[in-house]
Amino acid sequence: MSRSFVGGVRSTRAHLGLFGLALACVASLPSCGGDSSPGLDTSRPPRVSLTGSIPQRLSEYNLLAYDGDGQFRYNDRVVPYDLNTPLFTDYALKDRAIYVPDGSSATYTDEGVFDFPVGSVLIKSFSVAADLRTPDVDVTLVETRLLIRYEDGWRAFPYVWDAAQREAIYSPAGEVRAVPFIDADGVSQVANYLIPQRNQCLSCHERRVDGVTLTMPIGPKARNLNRDYDYGVDGGVQNQLTRLAAEGLLSGLPSLAEVDAAYAFAGIEANGVGSLTGAELDDAARSYLDVNCAHCHNPNGVQGVTSQLFLNYDNTDDFRLGLCKRPGSAGSGTGGFTFDILPGNPDESILIFRVETEEVGAMMPLLGRSLQHRHGAELLRAWVAEMPANDCSAAP
Amino acid sequence: MPTHTHAIRRGSPARSQLALSTLTLLAFTVVGCGGGGGRFDTNNCRDFDSVNCVEIEGGDSAALQAAVNSLEDDTTLILGPGVFVLDNQVTIRNADGVSLVGQGIEETTLSFSTAAAQINGVDVVGDDFLVQDLTVLDAPKDGIRVENSDGVTFRRIRATWTEEGLSTNGAYGIYPVKSRNVLVEDSFAENASDAGLYVGQCINVVVRRNTVRGNVAGLEIENTEYADVYENHAEDNTGGIVVFDLPGNPIVGRDVRLHDNTIIRNNRRNFAPGGTVAQIPAGTGTFVMASRRVEVVDNEYTDNKAFDIAIVSGLIIADDPAVWELETASLVGDWDDLGLLAGATQGTITNFRSENIVISGNSHSQSMPTTNYGLSPDFAALFTFLYGNMHSDNIIYDGIGESMFDAVVAANNSNDNHICAGGNTDGTFANINALSQLSAPPTAPILQIADAPFAPYDCTAVTGGALVLPEL
């Protein structure tokens, strides 16, 4: 029996349940799902071939369909999820899902990304809303990125949705698109939204381990997945890890009491940075840096290792975290300041400058941001301000 | 648009066959080489011995990006004459043996003038990479960046920005970093707001016959071991050709030779937007900082207003030795024969010291009387104090780390750092005793020695055997 998930483009969604439609499908009708869900046949498993040519249409994978109005429908063993602290990409709305082939499962690990079996797919769709004050109205689905687990590691495949919002086409060359929108404060903005080239995916997804360069997912770590998700009529609100395990996509999950949870960033979006206590502030900031920066700024990062600035959550070295640390070759990225973090003084900390500026050549992260992430910048600013003041005249 | 990749057929096809295949494929802007290629005058698929080869019509940016993002190992991309206007970088990943070849720096240009994204021009991770015969113009960040790759060749390329002297220009023009076996030759790097030609954290490097002009730093060799840098021309930069280590990088620089270069009129106002490079005084010919086993020999220095050659400790830019501590377990490359100073922390060494350096056989000529020490307030104050409006001594040594200093009697000075200027026939030498001078206000005199062999700095060779230099 097949089952499908339906998700909206907002991070908290109401699932409408097209369960009955899936039941009605039969194998002899490959277009089953028809008008409401072009390209998804839930009577058949997803088609992820690791050999042969790259599918030119996203629908060929039979992983998902989009109804053109903010709703995704996913095939069996394709489970949607959210992250506690997501990566900011110019206020794009994201829908994520994991597919693990029948008969196999990802292996749980406390540290880092789960070990996914060959044939697994991580699916991430990016949409933009015309007005972020009403994020579920007038939404344009822009792209869906697949990370597919091959025998020798992960490979990235970007698909760009057509204007009719019915099909996404393999688009390895990427695109830079000016996207006007109204932000959460009602201000008109234009993002230079980057649809990355296939090779550019590696700018964020690359790790160097024991001299070998690997492509790695970023988000699906235990602490970032450990949260509730509303599966709608298909189970209601459940913990995502519990659900993945129950669906057979994840094995080795310990008791949830033993699993750490990253700070849930939505709390800041709802209540502001001022609502955080000191310990929460540190946890929230380190969680934010972990997801938004540590894919490069970690000891195994390819591009970020040059800086010797390590922003991964488990880094315990304050100097490598940037406190009283001078940058290596930051170029225009210093903003004229001396230290990556001048504790207690966000106005003179390079890290704060770089996440706040919108100046090309100085912005961090390197890719995916052309606008300031207001709540993220506020969080980091408060975090640095909260540190015991230190003029860095002595070694840390 | 499909991209056709075919194995190159060796040998020349019959002329009519070539014409036919060209006609057949006219509908495609990307043309495979199965028919022999050869549409372009200077470089074409027939010239390159690679498994896959694609010829791309000049200006067809979409075809270029499609080809680049569908690469397989051992692929040559031949770019026709024209300007490729690009809004995103040319990213090469997941493939070794890639060659990106234009029709010449005046014929084929990758232009990023209208790019709004924060990108490099050409951004490469892949072994055995070649870029040749093209110009990269106005990249938002770095012109051509090649990282973590083994076997890298830059040949007859140019990385430049349209407007000179702008702090908003990209940082580095030609930028191999964390790579091995790197050859940069017959190329041009211009108008970078940091370094024009920047070799960073590399092992086995040859840099020859290049021209660097209009940059803040012309040519930099940073945290790099085994580098032969010769017959380059550095003109009109803030600083000409420099060798240094920065703190915190896991390769300790060593065995670097600069020879037979011309370093001329590097007096450009420092227009760096920030960073370490912003401290380079305008008028710098060469400095060697936090480096060891370096030879600066047989170069021609002309009209660099501040100084021709300076040998300085890394403490000049970062005065806390702890910043320079490196865990030995994390080091890459050869370092354990260097006798590096231990750090205060167990299991660390430091690399701030400049030592075992030979300056010899360079020519120095100076026809410009006035100085312009640029943006670095410490240096400006010190040099103004020491030299007023006079040109400084040709060879400046900061003396940091010496156990004995005596401004009057040369023989009462130590040469613990084994600084050798004994083989010179030209130029003057000064130990400016910088550490005490920089504890402002400067008061102590300097040790000036006008005539070679500059005892006690009269040695003529590095210790530990001759430099090891690669042949690539």
Q: At what angle do helices A374-386 and A278-292 cross, to 10 degrees?
A: 130
Contacts (Cβ under 8 Å, ≥6 apart) of B463: B356, B418
User: Percent of chain A beyond pLDDT 70?
Assistant: 88
Tens digit of each residue's pLDDT (9 = 90 or more) over B261-283: 999 999 999 999 877 788 888 88
Cβ contact A303–B167 (<8 Å)? no
The number of beta carbons lying within 10 Å of the beta carbon of residue A23 is: 14
**Domain boundaries defined on chain B:** 1-141, 162-472
Chain A, residues 270-329, CB within 8 A of chain B, namely 302-303, 305-306, 308, 326-329
- Average pLDDT for residues B296-309, to the nearest whole number? 94
Could you tell me the sign of the dihedral formed by the alpha carbons of B26, B28, B32, B34, in that order?
A: negative
Residue B38 has pLDDT above 70, yes or no: yes
* DSSP string for residues in A111-168: SSB-BPPTT-EEEEEEEEESBTTSTTSSEEEEEEEEEEEETTEEEEEEEEE-TTSS-E
Tens digit of each residue's pLDDT (9 = 90 or more) over B158-184: 999 999 999 999 999 999 999 999 999
Least confident interval from A151-160, A308-317, B314-323: B314-323
- Average pLDDT for residues A333-341, to the nearest whole number? 86
Dist CA A6 CA A70 (whole Å): 10
Residue B454 has pLDDT above 50, yes or no: yes
The pLDDT assigned to B446 comes to 87
Residue A311 has pLDDT above 60, yes or no: yes
- The pTM assigned to this predicted structure is 0.84
What are the beta bridge partners of residue B180?
B150, B203
Q: Does A90 touch chain B (CB under 8 A)?
A: no
**Nearest CA of chain A to the CA of B291: how many Å?**
16
Tens digit of each residue's pLDDT (9 = 90 or more) over A239-250: 999 999 999 999
Residue B199 has pLDDT above 50, yes or no: yes
Tens digit of each residue's pLDDT (9 = 90 or more) over B133-158: 999 999 999 999 999 999 999 999 99
The pLDDT assigned to A35 comes to 42
Tens digit of each residue's pLDDT (9 = 90 or more) over A31-46: 444 444 457 999 999 9
Residue B22 has pLDDT above 70, yes or no: no
The pLDDT assigned to B452 comes to 87
Q: For the complex shown, is ipTM > 0.90?
A: no
What is the average pLDDT value for chain B, to the nearest integer?
A: 88
Dist CA B349 CA B337 (whole Å): 12
Dist CA B39 CA B295 (whole Å): 46
Strands A175-182 and A188-195: antiparallel
Q: Does A330 touch chain B (CB under 8 A)?
A: yes
Of the candidates B269, B274, B259, B247, the one whose C-alpha atom is nearest the C-alpha of residue B209 is B259
Tens digit of each residue's pLDDT (9 = 90 or more) over A361-388: 788 998 888 889 999 999 999 999 999 9
The pLDDT assigned to A9 comes to 39
Residue B28 has pLDDT above 50, yes or no: no
Torsion of CA A44, A48, A50, A53, to 10 degrees: 100
Q: Does A176 touch chain B (CB under 8 A)?
A: yes
Of the candidates B451, B428, B446, B420, the one whose C-alpha atom is nearest the C-alpha of residue B365 is B428
Confidence of residue B317 (pLDDT cuts 50, 70, 90): confident
The pLDDT assigned to A210 comes to 78
The pLDDT assigned to B276 comes to 79
Dist CA B50 CA A288 (whole Å): 45
Residue B1 has pLDDT above 50, yes or no: no
Cβ contact A332–B200 (<8 Å)? no
Chain A interface test: which of B118, B138, B149, B168 (most A C-beta within 10 Å):
B118
Name the residue with tokens 């910088």.
Answer: B434
* DSSP string for residues in B209-253: S-EEESSSEEEEEES-EEEEEES-EEESSSEEEEEE--TT-SB--
Cis, peptide link before residue A117, omega less than 30° from 0? no
Residue A213 has pLDDT above 90, yes or no: no
Which residue in chain A has the smallest CA separation from B332? A211
Of the candidates B383, B243, B361, the one whose C-alpha atom is nearest the C-alpha of residue B301 is B361
Residues of A in contact with B275 (CB under 8 A): 327, 329-334
Residue B314 has pLDDT above 70, yes or no: yes
> Does residue B171 or residue B440 have the better pLDDT?
B171
Could you tell me the sign of the dihedral formed by the alpha carbons of B229, B232, B233, B237, in that order?
A: negative
Chain A interface test: which of B1, B61, B69 (most A C-beta within 10 Å):
B69
- Average pLDDT for residues B205-212, to the nearest whole number? 98
Give me the count of residues in chain A.
396
Residue B355 has pLDDT above 70, yes or no: yes
Residue A146 has pLDDT above 70, yes or no: yes
**Domain boundaries defined on chain A:** 77-258, 266-386
Dist CA A343 CA B61 (whole Å): 46
